């Protein structure tokens, strides 16, 4: 699919915006907070919970970060009033991480503090390798200040990730909460796996390690080889859907979380698999992005990973295979 994806990306500048919008509607909740809340209320009947992302990252000026602080603050208010089972997903570069780390930390702490008061969990999204360690360090700093409602994402394709898992568990013990995903950023072969099988194998190894070490394990994948491996690994570790976490080295169960693990899916992708897992008693979470920057988000995701183009074309031509 690589060549096909690159062709699609090459044609993007010639593609009318309304066509991109038609594709994006499957994967983005809308341009405003009200659209995201309405969609989550509709999807709640499917047994899903949510993590919400305000679209935008890598700001050019530190003053731009204020928009994200204010919007996430509004989002916390709406989640609290509507009583939706939802977490927050933050991209550290949207808060100024690549411009001024101290100000970025202050901005993120403002959101984490308000979320903590309202018993809402905050997930720091993992961007490319430039900010891997700084993102992990933010989690350490927030928890050292008494905020235990925060975790991060790790990308299994990076060679460093198994070491990161071990070090985070050593540092945070039962408060370790990690979303593991393959990673959409196409990193170079000197720091990351680049082949599909190798990335799948790396992801499966990370899942096994997280479960072994007692980490809360959020499995974010649409790949059946990974989902099936995760189900088998959960079974080997004594997990049963709807039952308490069997591990003696795990942290206490928390409101809004599964019993030691959960499955996570992007909005608009593998809805049939998600619903099947939910019906089987597994906690499933849907990633809900929204915001005015949906066009930039769609273009950026295609540029970073042209193979996504196949999933988009499939969704357009064979929509019944990929319901939300």
Helix (H) or strand (E) holding 150: strand 150-155
Task: Indicate whether 197 belongs to any domain.
Answer: yes
Q: Are residues 16 and 156 in the same domain?
A: no
Q: Are residues 55 and 71 in the same domain?
A: yes
Q: Are residues 22 and 113 in the same domain?
A: no
Q: Are residues 211 and 226 in the same domain?
A: yes
Task: Indicate whether 91 belongs to any domain.
Answer: yes
Q: Are residues 165 and 310 in the same domain?
A: no
The H-assigned helical ranges of 175-223 are 196-213
Q: Which among 66, 269, 75, 277 is positioned nearest to 184, based on CA atoms?
A: 269
Q: Are residues 44 and 175 in the same domain?
A: yes
Q: What's the confidence (pLDDT) of residue 50?
A: 98
**Cα–Cα distance for residue pair 118/141, rounded to 1 Å:** 20
Q: Are residues 209 and 259 in the same domain?
A: yes
Q: Are residues 141 and 249 in the same domain?
A: yes
Q: Are residues 241 and 256 in the same domain?
A: yes
Q: What's the confidence (pLDDT) of residue 275?
A: 94
Q: Are residues 102 and 226 in the same domain?
A: yes
Q: Which residues constitute the domain of residue 3? A: 1-28+292-317
Helix, strand or coil, per DSSP, at residue 221: coil
DSSP labels for 99-118?
T-HHHHHHHHHHHHHHHHHT
Distances (CA, A) of 129 to 19, 136, 160, 185, 271: 32, 12, 10, 9, 30
Residues of the chain with pLDDT under 70: 1-26, 293-324
3-state SS of the chain: helix, strand, coil percent to 5? 55, 15, 30
**Cα–Cα distance for residue pair 190/193, rounded to 1 Å:** 8
Task: Indicate whether 184 belongs to any domain.
Answer: yes
Written in H, E and C, the secondary structure of 227-285 is HHHHHHHHHHCCCCCCCCCCCCCCCCCCCCCCCCEEEEEECCCCHHHHHHHHHCCCCEE
Task: Indicate whether 284 belongs to any domain.
Answer: yes
Q: Are residues 3 and 52 in the same domain?
A: no
Q: Are residues 225 and 309 in the same domain?
A: no
- Structural domains counted in the chain: 2
Distances (CA, A) of 21 to 16, 24, 30, 75: 9, 5, 10, 23
Q: What's the confidence (pLDDT) of residue 322?
A: 47
Task: Indicate whether 323 belongs to any domain.
Answer: no
76-101 burial: b if 16+ Cβ within 10 Å, else e: bebbbeeebebbbbbbbbbbbbbbee
Q: What is the CATH number of the domain that holds 190?
A: 3.20.20.220
């Amino acid at each position: 699919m690589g060549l096909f994806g690159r062709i699609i990306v090459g044609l993007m500048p010639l593609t009318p915006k309304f066509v991109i919008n038609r594709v994006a509607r499957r994967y983005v909740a809308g341009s405003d907070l009200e659209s995201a809340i309405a969609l989550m209320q509709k999807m709640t009947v499917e047994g899903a919970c949510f993590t919400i992302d305000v679209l935008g990252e890598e700001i050019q000026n530190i003053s731009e970060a204020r928009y994200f602080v204010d919007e996430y603050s509004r989002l916390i208010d709406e989640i609290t009033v509507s009583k939706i089972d939802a977490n927050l997903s933050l991209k550290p570069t949207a808060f100024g991480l690549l411009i001024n780390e101290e100000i970025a930390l202050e901005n993120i702490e403002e959101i984490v503090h308000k979320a903590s008061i309202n018993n809402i969990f905050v997930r720091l999204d993992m961007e490319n390798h430039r900010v891997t360690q700084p993102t992990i360090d933010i989690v350490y700093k927030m928890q050292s200040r008494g905020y235990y409602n925060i975790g991060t994402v790790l990308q299994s394709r990076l060679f460093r990730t198994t070491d990161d898992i071990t070090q985070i568990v050593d540092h945070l013990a039962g408060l370790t909460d990690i979303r593991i995903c393959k990673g959409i950023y196409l990193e170079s072969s000197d720091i990351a796996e680049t082949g599909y099988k190798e990335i799948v194998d790396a992801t499966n190894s990370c899942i096994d390690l997280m479960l072994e070490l007692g980490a809360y394990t959020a499995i974010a994948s649409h790949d059946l080889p990974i989902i099936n491996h995760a189900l088998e690994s959960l079974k080997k570790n004594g997990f049963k859907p709807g039952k308490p976490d069997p591990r003696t080295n795990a942290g206490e169960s928390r409101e809004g979380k599964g019993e030691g693990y959960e499955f996570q899916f992007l909005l608009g992708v593998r809805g049939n698999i998600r619903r099947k897992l939910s019906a089987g008693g597994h906690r499933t979470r849907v990633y809900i992005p929204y915001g005015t920057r949906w066009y930039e988000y769609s273009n950026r995701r295609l540029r970073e990973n042209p193979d996504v183009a196949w999933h988009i074309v499939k969704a357009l031509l064979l929509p019944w295979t990929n319901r939300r």
